[in-house]
Amino acid sequence: MSVLKKPIITRLICELNKQKSLRSLNVINSKYSTDIHTRNNVDFFVQNHPCLEKPSVNKKKAFYILEEDVADSIAEVVKKNIVRNNVIIEANPGPGILTQSLLKIVTDNLIAVESNPEFLPYLQELQDNERDKKLSIINYDMFDMYKNRNDEKLDQENEIVDLLPKISWTEDVSASIIGILHPRLESWFMPYIAQEFCQGSGLFMAGRLQWFLFVSPRFYRMLISKKSKKLDTLFELLFDIKICHQVPISNIYPKYSKMKITKMAESVNENVTYLIKFTPKPESSDILHPHEVNKFILFLKQLLLKSSERLIPRMEELVPGCGMYLIKDGFSMMQSLKTITPKQCLQIFKLLPSIPEYYNSGWRDFLVNEGLVVDHDDNTADVTDKNTDKNIPQNMSSDRPG
């Protein structure tokens, strides 16, 4: 299968870049064997592709696996951790080292989605030499999906979805996605996955997608910490999370840029990247309705603004008079935000609309201003009928993570 088409102007630019890459590759092949296995060495790729040499601080740049033994170990881990290995999507496969290893374990299709045109010739060569014709190639940046949602990106997502099996939401995962997430993208891309999953949009139109993502030590620390923050709270509610593998940062190209990591837990190794499996829970619609996702993220942002505070005094700032209802629901005046669990966060969030004081609160006014309150949320006839003179709590912000 050839590289899938894009709109005319973008496709022409892509073709020009590919031709340039092919000419460069022809020069390279005059010095080295055309057998891709012969070219499987780090020095070859780093010398001929400057994007692999310097540390990456630009979150638009991708990270790659360039060593065959590392790639084989990752493929084995993926094989052991997927229920069905019929379809795998590889985000930013680069020159195809991990792609080769994944082709050994996939039973149906492997979709290589590469953002950098200069690596497409390597993937095309793999595709031409692949006997079972299991490899499809798409020139697209999967980790750029969370922003600039234009028609072109939606068309490209649809092309990927068209290649995926359509499996019932509650039956099984429809495909597995593997990639290395840039550390500077983690706080933006991960909430995007949660939102798309709850809404059943984007790539999730094909069903529940299982993600194998390499993340930074800092993000891993957040996942294993017992403190409830907005990201790990959301993910613990919606996904089953498993730590599958570790790869030394020295085996990732280009090199990770140095990031300040304070108070690193003893169980976290700052010299490795962690391969985390995120499996969406089939009962997600019962946990959080799609129209509640953005509202819940904002609620977590406000509730957990200062983890040193106590729960009920903080909630009284958002919804004055709610304290006695929280006490009736099992919460204590002395409970700290440090000890609150993800399930308790969701419990409070769903309790609020049943509290009479909620309808005259600054928190609800804030949601109305953000366009996040609809009729069936609050059982009100007119959600815009609010007290316009009421002040929104000073520390409320409309910043959204995605």
Give the span between the Cα atoms of 90 and 184, in whole angstroms. Answer: 20
Asked whether residue 249 falls in the same domain as residue 329, the answer is no
pLDDT the model gives residue 122: 94
Collapsing DSSP to helix, strand or coil, 133 comes out as: coil
Asked whether residue 303 falls in the same domain as residue 170, the answer is no
User: Between residues 163 and 322, which one has the greater pLDDT?
Assistant: 322
Asked whether residue 234 falls in the same domain as residue 374, the answer is no
Asked whether residue 268 falls in the same domain as residue 331, the answer is no
pLDDT the model gives residue 215: 93
Give the span between the Cα atoms of 389 and 367, in whole angstroms. Answer: 15
Query: Which domain-ending residue is among 286, 318, 335?
Result: 286
Asked whether residue 252 falls in the same domain as residue 311, the answer is no
Name residue 20's beta-bridge partners: none
Asked whether residue 271 falls in the same domain as residue 306, the answer is no
392 assigned ligand-binding residue: no
Q: Tokens in use for 305? A: 């603004």
Asked if residue 59 has pLDDT above 80, the reply is no
132 assigned ligand-binding residue: no
365-395 burial, b at 16+ Cβ within 10 Å, e below that, comes to bbbbeeebbeeebbebeebeebeeeeebbee
Q: Tokens in use for 124? A: 């095309």
Give the span between the Cα atoms of 398 and 263, in whole angstroms. Answer: 29
| Domain CATH code at residue 231 | 3.40.50.150
Quote the pTM value: 0.76
pLDDT the model gives residue 121: 94
Asked if residue 362 has pLDDT above 80, the reply is yes
136 assigned to some structural domain: yes
Asked whether residue 178 falls in the same domain as residue 93, the answer is yes
Task: For residue 353, give the nearest of 365, 364, 340 by alpha carbon.
Answer: 364
Asked whether residue 256 falls in the same domain as residue 323, the answer is no
330 assigned to some structural domain: yes
Give the span between the Cα atoms of 284 and 293, in whole angstroms. Answer: 11
Name residue 277's beta-bridge partners: 212, 242
The highest-confidence range among 16-25, 254-263, 324-333, 381-390, by mean pLDDT, is: 324-333
Asked if residue 363 has pLDDT above 70, the reply is yes
92: left (phi over 0), alpha (psi -120 to 50) or beta: left
Instruction: Give the residue-averaged pLDDT of 256-279.
Output: 77
383 assigned to some structural domain: no
Q: Do 73 and 61 contact (CB within 8 A), yes or no?
A: no
249 assigned to some structural domain: yes
pLDDT digit string (tens) for 153-198? 778 788 888 888 877 777 778 889 999 998 888 877 877 787 788 7
pLDDT the model gives residue 238: 86
Name residue 113's beta-bridge partners: 91, 138
- In one-letter notation, the amino acid at residue 80 is K
171 assigned ligand-binding residue: no
Q: Do 223 and 241 contact (CB within 8 A), yes or no?
A: yes
Query: Which domain-ending residue is among 236, 262, 286?
Result: 286
Asked whether residue 197 falls in the same domain as residue 313, the answer is no
Q: Note down the domain range covering 372.
A: 289-378
Total domains, the chain: 2
Q: Do 176 and 83 contact (CB within 8 A), yes or no?
A: no
pLDDT the model gives residue 381: 33
